[in-house]
A and B are shown apart, each in its own frame.
Chain A
Amino acid sequence: MRHTITVLVENEFGVLSRVAGLFSGRGFNIDSLSVAPTNEESISRMTIVTRGDEQILEQITKHLNKLIDVIKVFDFTDGSIIEREIALIKVTAEDNDRAEVLRIVDIFRASVIDVTPKSYTIEVTGAPSKIDAILELLRPLGLKELVRTGPVAIVRGAKGWKG
Chain B
Amino acid sequence: MKLAGARILLECLKLEGVDTVFGYPGGTVINIYDELYSFPEIRHILPRHEQAGVHAADGYARASGKVGVAIATSGPGATNTVTGIATAYMDSIPLVVITGQVPTALIGNDAFQEVDIIGITRPCTKHNFLVKNVKELAEIVKKAFYIARTGRPGPVLIDLPKDVQVAITDFKYPDKIEMRSYKPTVEGHVKQIEKAAAMILAAKKPVLYVGGGVILGNAYDELRQLAETLHAPVTTTLMGLGSFPEDSPLSLGLLGMHGTYYANMAVTNCDLLVAVGARFDDRVTGKIPAFAPHAKIIHMDVDPTSIRKNVRVDLPIVGAVHGVLDKLLKILEEQRNEVESFRSAVQPWLDEINGWKAKHPLSYKESSEVIKPQSVIRKLRELCDPDAIIATDVGQHQMWTAQFFTFTKPRTLLTSGGLGTMGYGLPAAMGAQAAFTGRQVIAICGDGGFQMNLQELATLVQNKLPVKICIMNNNYLGMVRQWQELFFGKRYSQTVMDLPIDFVKLAEAFGATGFTVAKPEEVEETIRKGLATPGPVIMEFKIAREEQVLPMVPAGASLDEMVLAS
Contact = CB atoms under 8 A, between A and B. Distances in A.
A joins B in a complex: yes
Interface of A: 9-10, 13-14, 17-18, 21, 25, 55, 58-59, 62-63, 65-66, 68-71
Q: Which 10 A-B pairs have the closest CB atoms?
A: A68-B127, A62-B305, A71-B181, A62-B304, A68-B182, A25-B123, A63-B305, A21-B122, A69-B181, A66-B305
Contact of B126 (A55, A58, A68, A70): A68
A138 to B, nearest CB: 40
A59 B309 contact: yes
Nearest to A71: B181
Contacts of A59: 305, 308-309
A65 B304 contact: yes
27 contacts: A10-B181, A13-B130, A14-B118, A14-B122, A17-B119, A17-B122, A18-B122, A21-B122, A21-B123, A25-B123, A55-B308, A58-B308, A59-B305, A59-B308, A59-B309, A62-B304, A62-B305, A66-B304, A66-B305, A68-B126, A68-B127, A68-B147, A68-B181, A68-B182, A69-B181, A70-B181, A71-B180
A32 B181 CA distance: 24
Interface in B310-349: none
A119 to B, nearest CB: 39
Interface string B117-139: 01100110011001000000000
Nearest to B124: A25
A15 to B, nearest CB: 10
A81 to B, nearest CB: 23
Nearest to A54: B308
Contacts of B181: 9-10, 68-71
A62 to B, nearest CB: 4
Contacts of B308: 55, 58-59
Contacts of A18: 122
Interface of B: 118-119, 122-123, 126-127, 130, 147, 179-182, 303-305, 307-309
B303 A66 contact: yes
Contacts, number: 35
Contacts of A68: 126-127, 147, 179, 181-182
Contacts of B179: 68
Given A10-B181, A25-B123, 10 more contacts: A9-B181, A18-B122, A21-B122, A21-B123, A62-B304, A66-B303, A66-B304, A66-B305, A68-B147, A68-B181
A66 B154 CA distance: 12
B305 A14 contact: no
Contacts of B127: 68
A107 to B, nearest CB: 45
A74 to B, nearest CB: 15
Contacts of A55: 308
B123 to A, nearest CB: 5
Nearest to B182: A68
Nearest to B119: A17
Contacts of B123: 21, 25
A65 B181 CA distance: 9
Contacts of A70: 181
B86 to A, nearest CB: 12
A10 B180 CA distance: 9
Contacts of A13: 130
A9 B181 CA distance: 8
A6 to B, nearest CB: 15
A10 B119 CA distance: 18
B410 to A, nearest CB: 26
Contacts of B119: 17
A116 to B, nearest CB: 40
A70 B305 CA distance: 15
Nearest to B306: A62
A25 B307 CA distance: 19
Interface centre among B130, B181, B305 (most CB of A within 10 A): B181
A119 B235 CA distance: 71
Contacts of B305: 59, 62-63, 66
A58 B309 CA distance: 9
A13 B107 CA distance: 14
Contacts of B180: 71
